[in-house]
């Protein structure tokens, strides 16, 4: 980690643990609070406690090497699944609450089918790259950014609450897969290791697959840290859509355009940097373009002052992308979110 990455990660973990423990203390002292939770509070409680159990599993594996044997590791993971789904932190139990939530709305079932199709497409891309026996190019790696755009935009527009719980599940799964890879657990350990080396970039210097993990964190961070992220107005539109799209706009659109266009057409480099001015211009244009489309489609309604803030946020994020040595997937959404929240 760089100092900046380590600072963000440490503060994030500390705040997450403290918030979860405070929530647990409140639930123990006030048992009726479980019954008075609204939908988002229930989903948030389930997700936070599930990730807390997973953090405890990771800490235990780090501290105790004898737990890293397959015949011990898999029972530990089964215990984690049981704790995440059956711990009495909500009423009804988390597994029942989630199933009731999913099957309550037909649109959620359509979204799930769409997400399953994206998972199949992702696996197909990984298998194709492994058969290629070559290191993935920048353009191939950016396909995952496009997949994230396809996940988060429909989710934020139509099923914000489901996307919220799904992002927590995705975070747990990517952590478990990385554990399988790092510990070389059969049968998937070696396959995941080959995929990691095929797609790793210059920032994946350690043993952790930090870049893809930060891609998920960066896209989900606004959804996780914003109070009441799924509030809607009288037209059913999310009142904080643009801040919630901070990760998608900067990573899915801006960073993808900057990398692809900069690598192909970048001729003029920033001083003491490998990034190109052409890439920075592409970043700016491709962040503003979807915002213009959302405004024309009336998903957002922006006045002159809000447009000024958006332009300033975009320009600052573009310059950060051009100059930073931190992981883009983690830094850019945070910078854009802080400024755009002034709207």
Nearest to 212 by CA among 224, 232, 222, 197: 197
In whole angstroms, what is the distance from residue 220 CA to residue 245 CA?
9
> Long-range contacts made by residues 140-145, C-beta under 8 angstroms, separation at least 24?
140/199, 141/199, 141/201, 142/256, 142/259, 142/260, 144/212, 144/215, 145/215, 145/251, 145/252, 145/255, 145/256
State the Cα angle at 102 between 99 and 105, rounded to 5°: 140
Nearest to 43 by CA among 77, 89, 83: 89
Q: What secondary structure does DSSP assign to 233-252, as a single string?
A: -TTS-BTTHHHHTHHIIIII
- Six-digit token string for 218: 């960066």
Residues of the chain with pLDDT under 70: 31-36, 202-205, 234-236, 239
CA 336 to the chain's CA centroid: 15
- First-to-final CA distance of the chain: 32
Q: Give the phi and the psi of residue 37 in degrees, each rounded to 5.
A: -70, 140
pLDDT of residue 142: 83
* % of the chain surpassing 90 pLDDT: 49
In whole angstroms, what is the distance from residue 255 CA to residue 312 CA?
17
pLDDT of residue 284: 96
**3-class SS at 276?**
strand
- Rg for the chain, CA atoms, rounded: 21
Cβ contacts of 209 within 8 Å, gap of 6 or more: 174, 178, 181, 196, 200
- Six-digit token string for 223: 């959804």
pLDDT of residue 288: 96
């Amino acid at each position: 980690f760089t100092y900046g990455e380590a600072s963000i990660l440490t503060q994030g973990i500390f705040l997450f643990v403290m918030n979860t423990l405070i929530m647990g203390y409140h639930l123990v002292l006030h048992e009726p609070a479980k019954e008075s939770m609204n939908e988002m509070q229930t989903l948030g409680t389930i997700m936070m406690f599930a990730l807390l159990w997973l953090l405890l599993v990771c800490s235990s594996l780090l501290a105790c090497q004898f737990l890293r044997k397959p015949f011990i590791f898999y029972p530990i993971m089964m215990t984690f699944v049981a704790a995440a789904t059956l711990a009495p932190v909500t009423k009804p139990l988390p597994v029942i609450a989630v199933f009731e939530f999913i099957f309550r709305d037909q649109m959620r079932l359509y979204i799930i089918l769409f997400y399953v199709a994206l998972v199949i497409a992702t696996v197909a891309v990984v298998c194709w790259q492994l058969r290629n026996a070559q290191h993935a190019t920048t353009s191939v790696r950016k396909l995952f950014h496009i997949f994230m755009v396809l996940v988060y935009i429909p989710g934020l527009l139509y099923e914000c609450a489901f996307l919220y719980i799904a992002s927590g599940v995705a975070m747990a799964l990517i952590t478990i897969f990385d554990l399988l890879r790092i510990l070389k657990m059969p049968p998937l350990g070696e396959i995941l290791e080959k995929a990691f080396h095929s797609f790793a970039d210059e920032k994946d210097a350690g043993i952790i697959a930090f870049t893809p993990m930060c891609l998920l964190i960066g896209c989900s961070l606004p959804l996780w840290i914003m109070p009441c992220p799924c509030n809607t107005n009288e037209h059913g539109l999310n009142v904080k859509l643009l801040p919630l799209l901070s990760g998608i706009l900067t990573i899915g659109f801006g960073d993808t355009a900057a990398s692809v266009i900069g690598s192909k057409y970048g001729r003029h480099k920033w001083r003491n940097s490998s990034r190109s001015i052409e890439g920075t211009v592409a970043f700016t244009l491709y962040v503003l373009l979807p915002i213009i489309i959302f405004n024309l489609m009336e998903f957002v309604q922006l006045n002159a002052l809000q447009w000024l803030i958006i332009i300033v946020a975009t320009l600052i994020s573009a310059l950060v992308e051009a100059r930073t040595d931190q992981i883009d997937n983690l830094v850019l959404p945070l910078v854009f979110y802080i400024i755009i929240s002034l709207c």
